[in-house]
């Protein structure tokens, strides 16, 4: 049974746009979901011209982890590592919109700084927290000097 279970992998890792939109809960968003998954998908033969040696440092599957099968069906055998890819995939959706990307980056910076400050104040109540601090490399990474704003 274990040997033959591999024959079912294509069924397990294949999903349709209808299934996605049903899980999303809004059938009217089907075209938007198609656009997203088309951007995150490769098609058979699309990597034929790529140099295999470059896959180690710049694996295109990490940017497009799905294979578009046609008929609004998609396949991915790396669903198990999807949680490691999702942030880059989500950021890729706004990469060509400068104003949205700026809002996202600004919001992310504020969120990270607020979160770190909160954690530091909770876990080191007697410590000093310097918000907005920047670091300056003084001699090729030998030591750093903090600049408080």
Cα distance between residue 94 and residue 104, in whole Å: 9
Is the separation of the CB atoms in 79 and 24 below 8 Å?
no
HSE-up of residue 32 (Cα within 13 Å, Cβ side): 7
Q: Report which of residues 143 and 59 the model is more confident about.
A: 59
Render pLDDT for 14-63 as a digit per residue (tens, 0 to 9): 999 999 999 988 888 899 999 999 999 999 988 888 888 878 888 888 89
Q: How confident is the model at residue 120, as a pLDDT?
A: 95
What is the total count of domains within the chain? 1
Query: pLDDT band for position 119 (50/70/90)?
Result: very high
Q: How confident is the model at residue 48, as a pLDDT?
A: 87
Q: How confident is the model at residue 137, as a pLDDT?
A: 61
Is the separation of the CB atoms in 68 and 38 below 8 Å?
yes
Q: Report which of residues 138 and 92 the model is more confident about.
A: 92
Q: How confident is the model at residue 57, as a pLDDT?
A: 83
Q: Domain limits at 44?
A: 2-147
């Amino acid at each position: 049974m274990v040997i033959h279970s591999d024959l079912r992998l294509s069924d397990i890792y294949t999903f349709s746009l209808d299934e996605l939109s049903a899980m999303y809960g809004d059938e009217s968003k089907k075209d938007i979901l198609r656009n997203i998954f088309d951007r995150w998908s490769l098609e058979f033969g699309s990597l034929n011209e790529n140099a295999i040696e470059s896959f180690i440092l710049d694996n295109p599957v990490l940017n497009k982890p799905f294979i578009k099968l046609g008929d609004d069906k998609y396949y991915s055998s790396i669903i198990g590592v999807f949680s490691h890819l999702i942030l880059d995939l989500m950021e890729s959706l706004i990469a060509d919109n400068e104003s949205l990307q700026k809002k996202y980056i600004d919001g992310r910076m504020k969120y990270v700084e607020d979160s770190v400050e909160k954690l530091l104040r909770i876990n080191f109540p007697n410590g000093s927290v310097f918000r907005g601090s920047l670091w300056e490399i003084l001699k090729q990474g030998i030591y750093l000097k903090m600049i408080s704003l």
